Each structure stands twice: as structure tokens, then as C-alpha cells.
């Protein structure tokens, strides 16, 4: 039997890390995010999905993912939160100009991850950055063996957030002369 120091595989853990940059300046480095209900319940919905039938498309987690930024500095993240408190731009926020993502295999080190990168061009957003959130198209079905028979496009919901009120990062004034980049890495591994 394996004891201390060995991965037991009794659970799967999901963690999120956020890095924020403006030009060469790193404003947050590998800071742990806080997840909310939207992500949790979506994972169970995925597990209990059965099939899609007919002429149908199921738009899934990755479809139209977004990172939004906000100016709130007073409200820590809580489990039932569904949106940024004070998004910068019209709610849910000003979308980034560029989105990209990559996926990493854990075949070697046991850590699987997806990295989401959002970039706002210089001058696109302004003001104080006090909160950041990752939004994904998490399914929200509760019936075991749920079936899709017509197009299913779940709402894009907030799955995790970083807040200065929760002391995840120090709020800062966006430098409008340079681009703003947020890298959000979601890691899955055995526990």
C-alpha cells in the first residue's frame, strides 16, 4: 500500500491561477482564483449528460469563453456570486480584443491544464482594476441522463473570480498607453 508523499488519486482537484501584465509590468503573478457555484454545478451536469439527438448543436464550456475585468474593491468573492460587481464597460464587461487558449497534457507531470489568455488593446479599457473573472458556457441541467433535442446554448456564466477585496491582488489603475493581458490557467490533477 502506498503511503505519504504519493498521489492517492482519491480525488481530482481543480485550481486556477491568474497572471496580469501591462507591457513588462507584472501586476499579479500566478494568483489563486476563487471558484463559484456556476463552475461546480456545471461539472456535475457534464457527468450526467446522456446524448444529443436530431439536428442539434450543444455549445459547451469553451464556446465563447471570456475574461472580464471590473473596478470593485469592496466585495470578496462568495460562492453564489454570478457576475462581476462593477464591470468595466457595459455588463458583463468590455470584451477583450484578442482571446487565445492552449491545452497542456499531464502525461509527464500529472498536471493537466488549459490556459486562457485575454488581451485588451491600449486605450480599450480604463479606470481601476479591482476584480477579474473567467466566464464559461457551463451546462446547467439537473436531470440524470439529460438529452439535447434542439440547440442547447447554456448561458456564459462566471466560474471563478479574483478580487482585491479578497486580497487576491492589489487593485491598480490601468495604464491606457499599453495593452492589458490576463492569463488564466485552470489546472486539473489527482489529489
Partner 1 sequence: MELDEIKIKGYVTIWQGDGKNKKFIVKRAENRFVDAGLKGLVSALACSAIAVTAPSGISSWSYNPQIYLGSDTDISTTHEMNVLAAPIGIAPGTAPNTISGINRTNPSSGVWRTSFVAVWHAGNVSGTVGELGLYLRPFTEFAAGWVRNMGQNSYVYPLALVSRLSSADLDFSSFIIDTSKSITVQWTVEVSFA
Site for partner 1 in 36-75 (CB under 8 A): 36-37, 39-41, 43-63
Question: d(Cα 98, Cα 125) in Å, to the nearest integer?
Answer: 13
Owner of C-alpha cell 486556477: 16
CB of 130 to partner 1, least distance (A): 17
Helix (H, G, I), strand (E, B) or coil at 55: coil
Stretch 102-131: interaction string toward partner 1, x if CB under 8 A: xx-xx---x-xxx-----------------
For residue 20, how far is the Cα from the chain centroid?
14
**Are 30 and 20 a contacting pair, CB within 8 Å?**
no
Q: Which stretch binds partner 1 (CB under 8 A): 88-96, 125-133, 172-180, 183-191?
A: 183-191
> By C-beta, is 61 or 172 nearer to partner 1?
61
User: How many C-alpha atoms does 33 have within 13 Å on its Cβ side?
Assistant: 26
Residues of this chain that bind partner 1 (CB under 8 A): 1-2, 7-16, 32-37, 39-41, 43-63, 77-80, 101-103, 105-106, 110, 112-114, 136, 141-145, 186, 188-191
Amino acid at each position: 500500500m502506498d503511503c505519504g508523499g504519493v498521489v492517492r488519486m482519491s480525488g481530482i482537484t481543480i485550481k486556477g491561477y491568474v497572471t496580469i501584465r501591462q507591457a513588462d509590468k507584472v501586476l499579479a503573478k500566478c494568483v489563486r482564483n476563487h471558484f463559484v457555484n456556476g463552475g461546480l454545478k456545471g461539472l456535475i451536469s457534464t457527468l450526467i449528460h446522456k446524448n444529443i439527438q436530431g439536428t442539434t448543436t450543444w455549445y459547451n464550456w469553451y464556446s465563447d469563453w471570456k475574461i472580464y475585468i471590473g473596478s470593485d474593491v469592496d466585495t470578496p468573492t462568495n460562492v453564489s456570486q454570478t457576475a462581476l460587481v462593477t464591470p468595466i464597460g457595459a455588463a458583463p464587461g468590455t470584451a477583450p480584443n484578442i482571446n487565445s487558449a492552449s491545452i497542456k497534457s499531464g502525461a509527464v507531470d500529472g498536471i493537466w491544464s488549459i490556459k486562457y489568455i485575454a488581451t485588451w488593446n491600449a486605450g480599450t479599457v480604463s479606470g481601476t482594476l479591482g476584480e477579474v473573472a473567467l466566464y464559461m458556457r457551463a451546462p446547467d441541467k439537473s436531470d440524470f441522463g439529460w438529452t439535447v433535442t434542439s440547440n442547447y446554448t447554456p448561458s456564459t456564466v462566471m466560474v471563478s473570480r479574483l478580487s482585491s477585496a479578497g486580497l487576491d491582488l492589489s487593485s491598480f489603475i490601468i495604464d491606457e498607453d499599453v495593452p492589458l493581458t490576463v492569463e488564466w490557467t485552470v489546472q486539473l490533477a489527482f489529489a
